[in-house]
Amino acid sequence: MTWITLRQKTKTKKTEEEMARMAGTRLIQWLNLLVWALVMLKTEGANVSITIVEDAVAKGAVCLDGSPPAYHWDKGFGAGINNWLVHLEGGGWCNNVTLCLNRSETRLGSSKHMDKSDNFTGILSRVQNYNPDFYNWNRIKIRYCDGASFTGDVEAVDPATNLHFRGARIWPAVIEDLLSKGMKDAKNAFLSGCSAGGLASILHCDSFQALVPSGAKVRCLSDAGYFINVNDISGARHIEEFYSQVVATHGSAKNLPSSCTSKIKPELCFFPQNVAHEIKTPIIFVNAAYDSWQIKNILVPTKVDPHGTWHDCRRNIKSCSDDQIQTLQGFRLNFLKALENTGNSSSKGLFIDSCYDHCQTELQETWLFDDSPLLAKTTIAKAVGDWYYDRRPFQKIDCPYPCNPTCHNLVTI
pLDDT along the chain (413 residues), means of 10: 43 47 44 40 71 98 98 98 98 98 98 98 98 98 98 97 98 98 98 98 98 96 98 97 98 96 97 96 98 98 97 97 98 97 90 98 98 98 98 97 96 77
Residue 138: phi, psi to the nearest 5? -70, 120
CA nearest to 295, candidates 281, 305, 307, 306: 305
The burial of 314, by beta-carbon neighbours within 10 Å (0-12 exposed, 13-18 middle, 19 or more buried), is given as buried
pLDDT of residue 27: 42
Backbone torsion region of residue 398, taken as left when φ is above 0, otherwise alpha when ψ lies between -120 and 50, otherwise beta: beta
pLDDT of residue 16: 52
pLDDT of residue 339: 97
* Catalytic residue chosen out of the listed positions 358, 372, 398, 408: 358
Edge to edge, the sheet with strand 395-397 lists 117-119, 47-52, 70-74, 138-142, 83-88, 188-194, 217-223, 283-288, 348-353, 395-397
pLDDT of residue 377: 98
pLDDT of residue 31: 40
CA nearest to 365, candidates 320, 317, 410: 410
pLDDT of residue 44: 53
The burial of 391, by beta-carbon neighbours within 10 Å (0-12 exposed, 13-18 middle, 19 or more buried), is given as exposed
CA nearest to 332, candidates 301, 359, 380, 299: 299
Peptide bond into 402 cis (omega under 30): yes
Query: Could you read off the pLDDT of 304-319 as tens digits, one per residue?
Result: 999 999 999 999 999 9
* Catalytic residue chosen out of the listed positions 149, 195, 222, 354: 195
For the question of residue 358 being annotated catalytic, the response is yes
pLDDT of residue 291: 98
For the question of residue 195 being annotated catalytic, the response is yes
pLDDT of residue 23: 45
**3-state SS assignment for residue 375:** strand
pTM (predicted TM-score): 0.89
* Catalytic residue chosen out of the listed positions 291, 353, 357, 398: 291
Element (DSSP H or E) covering residue 135 = none
Query: Could you read off the pLDDT of 23-64 as tens digits, one per residue?
Result: 443 443 444 334 334 444 444 567 999 999 999 999 999 999
CA nearest to 151, candidates 16, 278, 270, 37: 270
